[in-house]
Amino acid sequence: MYLLFLLIYALAVVTRKSLSELAYFGIILIWLIIFLRPKRSIFKHLGFLLGFEGLLFILALFNPGEPLVNTPIGSITKEGIHSFFLFLGRAFLSSSAVVVTSNSLGFSRLLAEMEELRFPRILILTLAFTYRYLDLFKDEALRMKRA
C-alpha cells in the first residue's frame, strides 16, 4: 500500500514546525530511493522540482523580522530565510516521495491502489486522463524537437 504510505508521509511532513524535524523525513526519503531503485533520470526531475518550488516560495524571504540583507525589493530577514527553507523542505520532501514512487512503480499501479481504497471513480478517471494527455504532450514535444 504505497499510496497509503504516501498520504501518511505527506501529512506528517506538512505538519512539522522546524527544520530539524524535517531532517528525519529526509532520511526516510533517502531510504525510499534506495528501496525502490528508481531510474537515474529521477535525479534530474528532482533537481527541476527543487528549483521550481524554490521559485514559488522566494517571496517568503521578505517576511517581517530582523533584516539581514537590504535589496531594492525589500529586506531579506532571518525569519524569512527560516520560513523559506521550511516551506521548501515541506514541499520538496512531500512531492519528491510521490515522484520517486510513481517513477519506480508506475502511475497505473498507484491508480489501482486508489481503486482498492475506494477513491471516487471520477477522481481516478480524471487523474488517468490527465496522465495520458501529459504523456501525449511530452511525446509531441519530443517529435517537434527532432523535426
Q: Rounded to two decimals, what is the model's pTM? A: 0.84
- Whose grid coordinates read 531510504? 31
**What confidence tens digit (pLDDT) does each residue in 58-85 have?**
999 999 999 999 989 889 999 999 999 9
Ordered by start, the domain boundaries in the chain are: 2-105, 106-147
SS3 breakdown of the chain: % helix, strand, coil, rounded to 5? 80, 5, 15
pLDDT band (50, 70, 90) for residue 32: very high
The whole-number pLDDT of residue 97 equals 95
pLDDT band (50, 70, 90) for residue 135: confident
- Whose grid coordinates read 530511493? 33
| pLDDT at residue 147 is higher than 80 | no
Angle at the Cα of 53 from the Cα atoms of 146 and 15, rounded to 5 degrees: 140
As a whole number, mean pLDDT of residues 10-27 equals: 94
Cα distance between the two ends of the chain: 42
| pLDDT at residue 33 is higher than 90 | yes
The whole-number pLDDT of residue 98 equals 93
Task: Provide the 8-state DSSP code for 66.
Answer: S
% of the chain surpassing 90 pLDDT: 86
Task: Provide the 8-state DSSP code for 120.
Answer: -
